[in-house]
Amino acid sequence: MEALAAVGLAGNVVQFVDFTCKLFDRATAIHHSQAGAAHEDLELITQNLQDLSTKLHQGSHQPLPSSNPTPSHAQASLKKLGKDCEVASDELLSALQRLKATKPGSRWSSFRAALASAWKEKHVEAMEKRLNSYRSQLVLQLQVMQSDEKSEILLLLDGLSDKSRHMGVALTDQISLLRSEMQHAIQTLRISLEAQNSRLTATPKSRKKTQNEEFSRDISALVDSLVRTEASGANLVVALALLGSLKFEYMEYRHSKILEAHPQTFAWVISNKFAKWLRSSEPIFWISGKPGSGKSTLMKYLVDNPETPSMLHLWNDSDRQVIASYFFWVNGTEMQRSQEGLLRSILYEFLRQCPTHVETVMPELWKEITALLSQDQRPIIAWKRKDLLACIRRLSMLDVTGVHLFVFIDGLDEYKGDHDELIETIRYLSTMSVKMCVASRPWNVFEEAFGEKEDCKIYLQDLNKPDIRIYVNDKLRSRRELQPGRADVTAVDLLKVL
């Protein structure tokens, strides 16, 4: 996140340069008619300067990325400028502390006059020149940062957009808006600083005060925008990193390898007890069937059918239904046959569609990954079942208006492990306002767990005979060698079709 840190550092440098140059450029009064008020003003200036110095220190001392120990020229130049400003800040703070200690009740007509009592006039003039030099350098740095061809910041945001698009995460619009806001803020800051430099060289001192105040108001909002975009950009990096940690190899492989249902089959599911179950408050529906009866094909049909979201409105007439699915596979990898794979898939699918909730669902990990990425260290997360369940518990407690989670889980009998434990997990999920449709062979362990309520289960072999007839007739009619009138049709020909 080194490039994003540069945005925050640039904003801190802008604030410091504006504040200190304003102190020097105008006769900043720090006295009032009341006795002792001079000390209060000096205290306020010191505190403001101390705050700015702290921000500079945090930004200019960011560690270099471990994967790239040599920073770009632009980043190195900006860091050097930040450190130079920090040194100037320390010098000014030291002088102010001496003034507060030695002459707490003195009345000064200007900040420059106060500083001249602690330094020699040549030192004051040298400091003023340094600050003006920093302002000129800042213009150059902002020019590099806003360039589409050279800016590492914009390249980083483009990379985040590509990653978000590749992962299917609903963040591309947010990243695009962030990019535009950052470009606008940097470009406008650069133009404002250039204009300010030009005015100051040709403006009488009597008018500098008004111009400085106008300039400060203009850049305040722009610096705030930079700070917000830096924080938003950093949050996007963390969110994508956490989402990426949930995704695993072959997560969607089994689903992709299941054959598509015949176009004219499974129409009955819309009017079957499945549709009635959707209207009910029952959390689990069980699709059972003998081997080869089409359970996985039906589950894929329901998951991919564009009408499914409309059907789910029968369950909850909300603005949005988040549909997650998982297909256990006995011939797959360890992860494809595990509860960890199931839970990671559910979390990933929900947070992929609702990425603004990643921090709430994973608060501790969010802090940990933020700290690691701020030091450009690559985080490695070893997900455990209990941690994943805790995340889903927090997810279920979210006040997400108009968003509800529906999960399809296929192949419970293909899970590698204790099936009673898997059933316990499914029941646990059902207590968290997660509605689920699960599918398995009619084994006793699943019959006992999900087969008690007639309205919440189907046996596929009892319902799919018309579908089988449609499929076979269509396949037979499409084969030229099986057309009517052919007397040479053999049993081998029929077996090839079926």
* Tens of pLDDT, residues 396-436: 887 655 678 899 999 999 999 999 999 999 999 988 878 89
Beta partners for residue 324, in sequence order? 407
Find the Cα–Cα–Cα–Cα dihedral 231, 237, 242, 246, rounded to 10°. 150
In this model, does residue 494 exceed pLDDT 70? no
pLDDT for residue 67 is more than 60: no
Q: Is residue 484 predicted with pLDDT exceeding 80?
A: no
Greater confidence (396 vs 282) lies with 282
The two three-digit tokens of residue 288, written as one number = 């059972």
Q: Give the pLDDT band (50/70/90) at residue 351.
A: very high
Distance in angstroms (rounded) separating the CA atoms of residues 313 and 38: 68
Dihedral of CA atoms 25, 27, 28, 34 in degrees, nearest 10, equals 170
Mean pLDDT score across all residues of the chain: 81
Among all chains, which residue has been given the structure tokens 């260290």?
377
Residues found in the chain: 498
Measure Cα distances from 198 to 23, 132, 191, 202, 435 in Å. Answer: 18, 12, 11, 7, 65
> pTM value?
0.77
287-329 pLDDT, tens digit each: 999 998 889 999 998 998 888 887 777 776 666 778 999 999 9
Instruction: Report residue 388's pLDDT band, with 50, 70 and 90 as the boundaries.
Output: very high
Q: Predicted confidence band at 332 (pLDDT cuts at 50, 70, 90)?
A: very high
Beta bridge partners of 223: none
Say whether pLDDT at 68 is over 50: no
Q: pLDDT tens digits for 111-164? A: 777 788 788 888 988 998 998 899 888 888 888 887 755 577 778 888 889 999
Closest CA to 58 of 90, 86, 96: 86
| Per-residue pLDDT at 220 | 77
Does position 195 have pLDDT exceeding 90, yes or no? Answer: no
For the record, the structure tokens of 137 come out as 């350098």
Structure tokens at 382: 């070893």
For residue 399, the model assigns a pLDDT of 64
Domains in the chain and their CATH numbers? 2-246 (no CATH), 253-353+381-463 (3.40.50.300)
Does the structure show a pLDDT above 70 at 69? no
- What's the rounded mean pLDDT across residues 78-104? 85
pLDDT of residue 467: 64
pLDDT range class, residue 259, cuts 50, 70, 90: confident
Amino acid code (one letter) for 89: S
Q: Residue 215: which pLDDT band, with cuts at 50, 70 and 90?
A: low
Q: In the predicted model, is pLDDT for residue 212 greater than 60?
A: no
Residues near 410 by Cβ (< 8 Å), separated by ≥ 6?
295, 296, 299, 300, 325, 326, 327, 328, 438, 439
pLDDT tens sequence across 433-463: 788 999 999 999 999 999 999 999 999 888 8
| Mean per-residue pLDDT, 258-273 | 77
pLDDT band for position 66 (50/70/90)? very low
- The order of strands in the sheet holding 403-410 is 320-327, 403-410, 435-440, 284-288, 457-459
For the chain, report the end-to-end CA distance as a whole number of angstroms.
57
Over 336-384, what HEC string results? HHCHHHHHHHHHHHHHHHCHHHHHHHCHHHHHHHHHHHHCCCCCCCCCC
